[in-house]
Amino acid sequence: MKPILIIFLISLIAACDQGGHSTVDKEKFEAFLKTKRIPMNDEVRYQRLLAEYQSREALANAISKTDELDATLIDAEIEEFRKELLISRYFESYLKGAVTEQGIQNYYSENVDTYKTRKARISHILFRLNPRMSEAERQVALTKATEAHSKVVTGEDFAEVAKELSEDKISAQKGGDLGWVNEGAISKAFSEKVFAMQAGDLSEPFVTEYGFHVVKMIEAPQDVVKPLQALKGDIRYQLRSESKKAETLRLLNSVGYQPQG
């Protein structure tokens, strides 16, 4: 700290003492500046903040001498805030070293299989079902699906048949194209049927809870691994949570406390 600031601080504290006002603790005040990340070589700002700090100290002392507030309740709030701040600051510091970029990379490499998904590019023609349909109505839907399948088998373009007949109006506008579909995303029954197909295959009509489908496999199923960059945030959060839990238990055990439940 610059000499002029030291001289100023000493003179101000002395002046406060002589005037009967609250004394400013130099060490505490400079710790306060550090918590606020305020540089101590900014003389103008330093003096302004010191005056504000001393004023708050004096005001707090004056209020503490009144009977307006319940001192026990205030002390309880202060103690809870102290504990929360202590816990927060500790884990903020601890987790910086506990979860590193290398640690995230290692976790990803060790668990890469869990980040794999199977995808396939699929087109379909759908004839919808609903629980209120009679058996006769279900048979009508199946007949429509069979006829659509026959049209494609006999040479009609799948996309054109889908545009004309599919009851999935969104995909029908794109010739039945569902794009890249994750295995299991639509339904278990759908995936079991479709993900056994090869590129270019055309399925017989089959049923799921959505209705009767006729599916064309545009591009065969393939495994896709999510890149680390897309997962880094989630992995960091997971590792931090696990590290915090483990360290919490260690600290509690170190003082003989056993968490209940």
Q: What is the CATH number of the domain that holds 203?
A: 3.10.50.40
pLDDT of residue 247: 96
Domain-located, residue 235: no
pLDDT of residue 2: 45
Residues 119 and 86 in one domain: no
Cβ neighbour number for residue 118 with a 10 Å cutoff: 14
**Tens digits of residue pLDDT in 53-112:** 889 889 988 998 898 999 899 999 999 999 999 999 999 999 998 999 999 999 999 999
Domain housing 148: 114-225
- Counted domains in the chain: 2
Domain-located, residue 219: yes
> Is pLDDT above 50 for 23?
yes
Q: Provide the pLDDT confidence category of residue 29 given band limits of 50, 70 and 90.
A: confident
- Percentage, residues of the chain above pLDDT 70: 90
Q: How high is the mean pLDDT of the chain?
A: 89
**Residue bearing tokens 């400079």:** 30
Residues 118 and 143 in one domain: yes
Is residue 57 within 8 A of residue 24, CB to CB? The reply is: yes
- C-alpha–C-alpha distance, residues 84 and 94, integer Å: 15
Helices assigned H by DSSP within 65-119: 71-98, 101-110
Of 97, 125, 159, the position where a domain reaches its end is: 97
Domain-located, residue 247: no
Angle at alpha carbon of residue 143, lines to 142 and 146, rounded to 5°: 85
Domain-located, residue 38: yes
